Amino acid sequence: MPCLVALLALAAPRVAIVLLVIFSDYIGNAYDGKLLPFLGFLFLPLTTLAYAYAQHSGGLSGLPLVLFVVALLMDLGIIGNADKQRRKQG
């Protein structure tokens, strides 16, 4: 089951955030307020999920830090910029 949730988070991170907010308090426990998760939902959904995972895993150190940085890079478009490459070719 956790692998299915991870695949959903990569395929549709905003859907995963909504499901986590509705069915659990995973996101709510990771953040103090409601503004940062909302902004993360809008602008950096993978980073929001990675930060919530890191907070539940003991903080931003080790593997959770690596996952957080990779998620941030993916959200910023530095990693996985296939759409831009596809537009150049076609």
d(CA 90, CA 74): 23
Q: Are 54 and 60 in contact (CB under 8 A)?
A: yes
Q: Does residue 13 register a pLDDT over 80?
A: yes
Where is average pLDDT lowest: 1-15, 28-42, 58-72?
1-15
Where is average pLDDT lowest: 18-32, 46-60, 67-81?
67-81
* pLDDT band, residue 82 (cuts 50/70/90): low
Q: Are 67 and 53 in contact (CB under 8 A)?
A: yes
Residue percentage of the chain with pLDDT more than 90: 42
What does the block give as tokens for 59? 């903080």
Confidence (pLDDT) at 48: 94
Contacts 24+ apart (CB under 8 A), 27-33: 27/52, 29/55, 29/56, 30/54, 30/55, 30/56, 31/55
d(CA 1, CA 5): 6
